[in-house]
Amino acid sequence: MFKLKENHTNVKTEIMAGFTTFLTMVYIVIVNPIILSDAGVPFDQVFTATIIATVIGTLWMALSANYPIAIAPGMGLNAFFAYSVVGASEDISYQIAFSAVFIAGIIFILLSLTPFRKHLIEAIPQNLKNGITAGIGLFIAFIGLRMTGIIADHPTNLVTLGDLHSPSVILAFTGLAITLILMSLNIHGALFIGMIATGMIAVITGQLSFNEGFTSLPKLPEGIIVSNPISAIGDVISHSLYAVVFSFLLVTIFDTTGTMIGVAKQAGLMKGNEMPRARKALLADSIAATAGAMFGTSPTSAYIESSSGVAAGGRTGLTTLVVAILFCLTAFFSPTVAAVSSVAAITSPALIIVGSLMMGAIAEINWKQLDEAFPAFLVILSMPLTSSIATGIALGFISYPLMKIVKGKGKEVHPFVYLFAVLFFYQLFFLGTH
């Protein structure tokens, strides 16, 4: 079913990769409820909804598309939901905002059923794809460094070196050293084993404890929040949420498309300029986004943390099947997950190492040709500095056709690139979702 031999992998490697992906992205079940609770959504509601959306999308990716790419509510989109949609107006409750997410999800599904998104992936210039991969890698590493305190905020220079005597920093460097040694020795599952070793050290040093116990039953206090498409459309029309729906749709399309390209390229699953089974893969997050809105979470996206599982050897849907199963189990272990997720130093070394691996795509960018190199550079630079994959992709899409026109090569640019350059320009300068 998963074609393990054809993809040069085995069951043990895929399971290890699944555990690795899960451990690097499970923080979302804690972070997402914290952010959305600021919009008034009950913590337990978002916790369970996050798991439901993640399991639906990731299972679809595993069983239908056979890719090692996990789906979960996207960071950035949850902040946009909480602070720019619900927080910006007293008239818009979180229930009404979920109606906008629901409608965006339905439109998303319809687009995914057409050749549109598949053609979009194929239309993206190769140098931009390499820039997206490298940019995501830099962004991942930057997240890992900041989460642990290795990099800290600075009032003038924005960031600076953190406190090297901090227990979190020492633990992160220890975990990084252990993992790098294991990888240098070509030990399979080095990222996962490194996280386990770091977790054990965290327990011994008192940085990881389980004071709230280990298990609890999942709760969904609000039940199903959005169930009727007609009433959801009514909410969007009555509150003029067209720009909100467009923003969710545009950012999710490119966040997911960019991430899928980056992870698939890293895994060696791209065939030339084409992503096999693209439509099935792209349906995963659109279905998950719609289901997530029904239960109470912001839009889903393909997860950049999937690249950690790919680095651990994951190549098929068996990796994501393991991720989905682990998220199902997580529903009963919220106190345990909360405890582990609170220690960033356990998972951050994997993010830093994966970032370095993905940065290798820089070597494939045509740096000698300015009209190809500068848009890719803009993508790489802006992703970590704006904390947004979608913003990086947007700036790349806007600058690429402009550079080509200036060079007199406007006819070489695919019509889709022109279309989305205009849409991204409008989104960035007039809608301001990030």
Residues 6+ apart with CB under 8 A from 54: 28, 29, 70, 71, 72, 73, 288, 300, 324, 327
Q: Give pLDDT, residue 30.
A: 81
Nearest to 89 by CA among 191, 241, 312: 241
Nearest to 106 by CA among 261, 237, 228, 268: 228
CA gap 205, 200 in Å, rounded: 9
Q: Give pLDDT, residue 341.
A: 67
Q: Give pLDDT, residue 53.
A: 97
Q: Give pLDDT, residue 350.
A: 85
Measure the N-to-C terminal CA separation of the chain; round to a whole number of Å: 40
Q: Give pLDDT, residue 370.
A: 95
Q: Give pLDDT, residue 181.
A: 96
Element (H, E) at 170: helix 167-184
CA gap 363, 372 in Å, rounded: 13
Q: Give pLDDT, residue 360.
A: 87
Beta carbons of 51 and 295 less than 8 angstroms apart:
no
For residue 360, give the DSSP letter: G
The token pair that represents 328 in the structure block: 């199902």
Mean pLDDT for back-to-back runs of 10 residues, the chain (434 residues): 90 94 86 88 92 97 95 85 82 94 93 79 83 87 89 88 94 95 85 87 93 86 92 93 82 81 88 82 92 95 90 94 96 80 83 87 93 95 84 90 94 89 83 51
